[in-house]
């Protein structure tokens, strides 16, 4: 690529530049306006119906199709909006308008647009009738469309579904009825309470009681109303103090008093009270409840027992979850170590000299096949556990489907050829991007392709397609020519470890987890996974994701940073080693090209944290560049391991991530990263950071013995 520094400067034409800029801005404004108009008119949230002057429909937008169930082709140049409206309402509207405007108006389309034709603002409510005969209320705004001379050339009817508002109005009517009825059952509610209830004014004078209070005091309601509340307790001063406390603190709970009735009998009660106010927030008094202590203690004991049981259940669940995580972690470690030996020595035996006999080779093949299958099962179980625990790390970005399909094709075509299955992949005439984690998207596509090959018929075919399904969504589909699945098995398809009968001897090898993981990953990225199948014909698995605009170029040609690159180091300078831990190939290629400008630098790469730690320990790089959202172990977790190891603790580690939120940056810097760079990379900032990190590494090297 030629250097921009070698390009001769272009002298702008001072006479034409302003006009050119103005034309560009005007064109951009028109394009933007056109895009906005198109977006508004094609919105699915409201119907837009345009007619000619006679009322015949000429435009029927997406929203109208969605609300009314007609395709545009069903109505254009065929019917008027009156044909999809309630005829009785049209008759009633025509009569009302005729009286209101003192002119005869014909029921039908004229009744819908008469006001608009007279330049009178017209928004009304009517009932639309869908294609299937169902009805729904709509609010319609009508505007007359006129030419430059002011003559009417048509009408625009914009409608919104009024079902929700009607529902709210109905609910409001019910609420109003409840409020009107409240005065009738409030008394019953108070009387049915098991506690003695009493209401006082702010001075402690009783204004109302229930029958339980009458029984507690041995007095009638009429006798109690108007009497001081404190008179009905063995300790009037304590009773008066509780009223004062309620007024001061707004409420009081579990305040014990001893009530005394007319005959001198006493009852120990737990007193609970709160202040109450009118709608203007003016204090009206105190609402109190007195409950027998014996009953309260019984209820408290029951509640305590319930809480203890809940705490035990919560503790047991937490322990079970922790035990599951500990078991999976331990299982991974304990199984991988012997499995490594099994697969390693089996491969040595397979390639040993002299070569194994036919019988030995067959036995070795069985060992390898079982070993690789067990390793896949371990990986998928751990993957599923991480996903279901919510700890999976995703780095969503605009991902090119053409690139992903090319990579998946290169990986899966050999397997298809081995099984005699032909694979067809889409050709992209225009770029197509989805919002996804690139690594996880490849995992989804490869899993679907693997199943399509594995469960296909002999010499079958697999067809991969990428299409826009709905506005803002892209569907990736993988179609096979296998045996297909009946309805009862489709319902079991996404159950973990359910292999739908393939686990029988002679069945297709598998774990029964792959599709479950695939579905969870699609949902974590805001997508959806589904299947359509016909017995004897085949199955089509599809994954829908949000579409995305193409990503911005990582470096613009006119970026000043490109013109301010540091000078290459002298050829005799000492060689430094960099390690870049990154799972995104595009980002890795960019850094490779930047580092290539420095002859004193050597770049090592790793696609995950575990491999990065291993390379750091064995190669001792001067500086480590670390992505944060890595598969498996995150960049932050990898940094912690590096810092805890004396062999790597001194190495400056620079974070490079698409996470640009301040809290993410602060969290990483607090964790011990030397610097934090956000993607897209700014070249000058990257090179300056690299220079500073190398200087830090040289200083650390000078201090180390």
3-state DSSP of 2-33: CCHHHCCCCCCCCCCHHHHHHHHHHHHHHHHH
For the segment 248-296, what is each residue's pLDDT rounded down to a tens digit? 888 888 888 888 888 888 888 888 889 989 888 899 889 888 887 766 6
Question: Taking Cα atoms as reference points, which of 492, 288, 526 lies closest to residue 394?
Answer: 526
Residue with tokens 């800029």: 21
In CATH terms, are 42-161 and 185-298 the same topology?
A: yes
pLDDT of residue 516: 83
More confident residue, 149 or 326: 149
For the segment 11-64, what is each residue's pLDDT rounded down to a tens digit? 555 555 566 666 676 666 666 655 655 666 677 678 899 999 999 999 999 999
| Antiparallel, parallel or unpaired: β 576-581 and 623-627 | parallel
For the segment 199-228, what is each residue's pLDDT rounded down to a tens digit? 999 998 999 999 888 888 899 989 999 999
Tokens at residue 586, please? 């595009």
pTM, two decimal places: 0.37
Q: Hey, what long-range contacts does 591-597 have (CB within 8 A, 24 or more apart)?
A: 591/625, 591/681, 594/681, 594/683, 594/686, 594/687, 597/565, 597/568
pLDDT of residue 31: 66
More confident residue, 571 or 274: 274
Q: Maximum CA pair distance of the chain?
A: 113
Domain residue limits, the chain = 12-37, 42-161, 185-298, 318-388, 393-548, 560-703
Question: Distance of CA 650 to CAs 653, 677, 686, 699, Å?
Answer: 9, 20, 21, 10
As a whole number of angstroms, the distance between CA 302 and CA 614 comes to 57
As a whole number of angstroms, the distance between CA 525 and CA 435 comes to 8
The pLDDT mean for the chain works out to 81
Tokens at residue 615, please? 């390379």
As a whole number of angstroms, the distance between CA 572 and CA 565 comes to 20
pLDDT of residue 390: 61
According to CATH, the superfamily of the domain at 560-703 is Response regulator (3.40.50.2300)
Instruction: Determine the topology of domain 42-161 in CATH.
Output: Beta-Lactamase (3.30.450)
As a whole number of angstroms, the distance between CA 450 and CA 442 comes to 12
Which CATH class for the 185-298 domain? Answer: alpha beta
pLDDT of residue 633: 87
CATH of 393-548, one of 3.90.470.10, 3.20.20.70, 1.10.287.130, 3.30.565.10: 3.30.565.10
More confident residue, 575 or 33: 575
Most confident of the following: 102-106, 510-514, 560-564, 678-682: 102-106
pLDDT of residue 382: 65
């Amino acid at each position: 690529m030629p250097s921009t520094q070698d390009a001769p400067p272009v002298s702008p034409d001072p006479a034409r530049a302003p006009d050119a800029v103005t034309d560009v801005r005007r064109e951009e404004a028109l394009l933007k306006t056109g895009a906005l108009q198109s977006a508004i008119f094609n919105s699915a949230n409201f119907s837009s119906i345009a007619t000619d002057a006679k009322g015949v429909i000429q435009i029927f937008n997406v929203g109208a199709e969605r609300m009314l169930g007609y395709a545009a082709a069903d109505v254009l140049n065929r019917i008027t909006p009156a044909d999809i409206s309630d005829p009785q309402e049209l008759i009633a509207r025509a009569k009302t308008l005729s009286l209101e405007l003192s002119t005869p108006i014909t029921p039908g389309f004229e009744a819908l647009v008469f006001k608009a034709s007279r330049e009178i603002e017209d928004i009304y409510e009517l009932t639309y009738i869908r294609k299937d005969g169902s009805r729904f209320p709509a609010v319609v705004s009508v505007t007359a469309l006129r030419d430059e001379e002011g003559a009417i050339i048509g009408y625009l009817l914009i409608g919104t579904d009024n079902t929700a508002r009607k529902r709210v109005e109905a609910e409001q009517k019910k609420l109003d009825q409840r409020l009107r009825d409240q005065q009738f059952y409030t008394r019953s509610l108070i009387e049915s309470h098991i506690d003695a209830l009493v209401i006082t004014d702010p001075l402690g004078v009783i204004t109302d009681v229930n029958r339980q209070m009458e029984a507690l005091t041995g007095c009638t309601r009429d006798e109690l109303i108007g009497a001081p509340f404190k008179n009905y307790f063995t300790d009037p001063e304590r009773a008066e103090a509780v009223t004062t406390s309620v007024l001061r603190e707004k409420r009081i709970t579990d305040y014990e008093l001893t009530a005394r009735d007319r005959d001198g009998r006493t009852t120990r009660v737990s007193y609970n009270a709160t202040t109450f106010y009118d709608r203007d927030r003016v204090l009206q008094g105190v609402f109190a409840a007195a409950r027998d202590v014996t009953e309260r203690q019984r209820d408290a004991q029951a509640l305590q027992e319930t809480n203890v049981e809940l705490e035990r259940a919560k503790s047991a669940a937490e322990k079970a979850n922790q035990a599951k995580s500990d078991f999976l972690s331990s299982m991974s470690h304990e199984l991988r170590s012997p499995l490594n030996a099994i697969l390693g020595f089996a491969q040595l035996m397979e390639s040993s000299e002299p070569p194994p006999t036919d019988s030995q080779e067959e036995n070795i093949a069985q060992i390898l096949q079982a070993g690789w299958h067990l390793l896949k099962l371990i990986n998928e179980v751990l993957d599923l556990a991480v996903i279901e625990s919510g700890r999976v790390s995703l780095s969503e970005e605009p991902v090119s489907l053409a690139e992903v399909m090319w990579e998946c094709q290169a990986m899966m075509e050999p397997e298809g050829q081995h099984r005699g299955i032909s694979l067809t992949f889409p050709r992209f005439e225009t770029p197509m991007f989805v919002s996804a984690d690139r690594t996880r998207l490849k995992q989804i596509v490869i899993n679907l392709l693997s199943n399509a090959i594995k469960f296909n018929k002999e010499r079958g075919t697999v067809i991969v397609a990428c299409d826009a399904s709905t506005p803002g969504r892209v569907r990736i589909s993988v179609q096979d020519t296998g045996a297909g699945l009946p309805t009862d098995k489709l319902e079991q398809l996404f159950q973990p470890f359910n292999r739908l009968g393939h686990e029988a001897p002679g069945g297709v090898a598998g774990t029964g987890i792959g599709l479950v993981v695939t579905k969870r990953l699609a949902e974590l990225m805001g997508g959806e996974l589904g299947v359509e199948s016909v017995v004897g014909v085949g199955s089509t698995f599809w994954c829908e994701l949000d579409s995305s605009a193409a990503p911005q170029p990582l470096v613009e040609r006119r970026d000043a940073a490109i013109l301010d690159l540091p000078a290459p180091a002298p050829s005799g300078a000492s060689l430094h080693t960099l390690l870049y831990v990154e799972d995104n190939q595009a980002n890795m290629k960019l850094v490779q090209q930047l580092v290539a400008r420095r002859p004193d630098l050597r770049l090592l790469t790793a696609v995950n944290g575990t491999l990065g730690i291993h390379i750091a320990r064995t190669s001792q790089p001067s500086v480590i560049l670390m992505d944060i959202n890595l598969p498996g172990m995150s960049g932050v977790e990898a940094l912690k391991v590096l810092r805890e190891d004396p062999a790597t603790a001194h190495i400056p580690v620079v974070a490079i991530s698409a996470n640009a939120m301040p809290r993410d940056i602060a969290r990483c810097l607090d964790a011990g990263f030397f610097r934090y760079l956000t993607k897209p990379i700014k070249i000058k900032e990257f090179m300056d950071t690299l220079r500073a990190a190398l200087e830090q590494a040289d200083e650390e090297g000078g201090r180390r013995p």
